[in-house]
Amino acid sequence: MSCLGWFKRRRSRSGGSSTSTSGKRGASASAPVSVSGPATTMTTTTMASAVSTSRSDDSGAVRPVSKSAGSSSQASQRSISSLYEERGHGQLRVFDYEELQGATAEFSRAQKLGEGGFGSVYKGFIRAADGKGDRVPVAVKKLNQRSMQGHKQWLAEVQFLGVLEHPNLVKLLGYCAVDSERGPQRLLVYEFMPNKSLEDHLFRRANPPLSWNKRLQVILGAAEGLAYLHEGVEVQVIYRDFKTSNILLDKDFRAKLSDFGLAREGPTGENTHVSTAVVGTHGYAAPEYMESGHLTAKSDVWSFGVVLYEILTGRRSLDRNKPAAEQKLLEWVVQFPPDSRNFRMIMDPRLRGEYSVKAAREIAKLADSCLLKNAKERPTMSEVVEVLRRAVQAHAEPDSRTPGGPGAKGKKSSDAATPSRR
């Protein structure tokens, strides 16, 4: 039985890349590739074709091809699919379904770490492929069988994370794809991240608040991960779902970007953007993307600006539990510009004043530059990384005179003591 039965290959007249002949989903025709076996090993051709199709299907319109681009330049363009064929598929382990079932105590509710649009994530314990050594913890993501979008995200994650490798990206260890009487089973196995997500530490009171230094460490790591996607790979990758819940934290609180199901390859040649359906999380998506479906790396930069303000304020981008005037974070913080006397009004009270006011102002200015309406005026992620590195190096420790900070001893902070004129 084919595990990719409903995904068909789609070839353009100009060279075999996936294209759409109409605005409708599934407007393609070709024979599906059959996959068999208890623990399905997908061929690289199958994986590349399926993922390419899933990316075009999410929008009904694929990346436009520049009319002025020559056929030779088109032929030389790299893609995630070609990179995966070259080196990605050999790095991933193919798991038996029964092995993952046993590793998670039959996907026990007690082992459940979380749930999303894709499906549920469970903690499990596995041994090395040779069966030797102690069992190590992993996170097993199990597809909701009723989710077509989840299936496409599963394919995309295997493709992207089979190629991408960086200290600030979560590591995909392997996958499982098998058809049975229970229906298609699609699973992903990741390294386990013991400190959960940035969202857990910023917004959930059950967890202790992140210190100022840890916040700087986390956001710098996340920025370095995004910069790698945008500028450090042969193919530009647009993450498209940058938010606090997708920033996972390892045992040392190193940030690692997770969930690449919505990632897209960036524009190539003379193209300025990728055209897609608008997906992602409300409150993080860039306005030009929301309005037009035009996706660029600067769309990720906008999302990064939103998360910078969440780091500073300890507030969600959208919180219906706040008073009406404070529910939308970006509309609220604009009342307290970085250079204003009452800027400190936005700072997370859980920091208890133990932060560098000067660094906080610099980070707020950086956030404002990421949130410029004109996408072309926003910084690149490599520029963002440089600003954050300087802030971390110069102002990691709390100000000695910050109220409540070390060394305060009752002294008044000259930066924040003046009453607001508003």
Q: Per the annotation, where are the binding residues for ATP?
A: 142
Q: Binding site for Mg(2+): which residues?
A: 246, 259
Angstrom distance (rounded) from CA 226 to CA 164: 12
Q: Has 241 been annotated as catalytic?
A: yes
Query: What does DSSP assign to residue 347?
Result: S
Angle of helix 44-57 relative to helix 148-161, nearest 10 degrees?
130
CA distances from 358 to 214, 296, 332 (A): 17, 31, 21
Q: In sequence order, what are the residues at sequence separation of 6 or more whose Cβ sits closer than 8 angstroms to the Cβ of residue 53?
A: 7, 8, 9, 10, 18, 28
Q: Binding site: which residues?
A: 142, 246, 259
| Pairing assessment for the beta strands 119-126 and 93-94 based on DSSP bridges | unpaired
* Amino acid identity for residue 14 in this structure: S
Angstrom distance (rounded) from CA 234 to CA 230: 10
Phi, psi of 305 (to 5 degrees): -60, -40
Q: Among all chains, which residue has been given the structure tokens 């910023």?
A: 202
Angstrom distance (rounded) from CA 343 to CA 187: 46
For residue 115, what are the β-bridge partners? 120
| Pairing assessment for the beta strands 172-180 and 93-94 based on DSSP bridges | parallel
CA distances from 374 to 114, 278, 347, 411 (A): 36, 19, 27, 43
* Amino acid identity for residue 100 in this structure: L
Distance of CA 197 to the CA centre of its chain: 12
CA angle (60 as vertex; 58, 63 as ends), nearest 5: 85
Of the candidates 222, 263, 259, the residue with the CA atom closest to the CA atom of residue 240: 263
Q: Which residue in the list 58, 241, 348, 399 is annotated as catalytic? A: 241
CA angle (294 as vertex; 308, 219 as ends), nearest 5: 15
What sign has the CA pseudo-torsion 217, 218, 222, 228? positive
Contact 187, 176 (CB under 8 A): yes
Of the candidates 301, 297, 253, 250, the residue with the CA atom closest to the CA atom of residue 273: 297
Q: In sequence order, what are the residues at sequence separation of 6 or more whose Cβ sits closer than 8 angstroms to the Cβ of residue 393?
A: none
- Give me the active site residues, please: 241
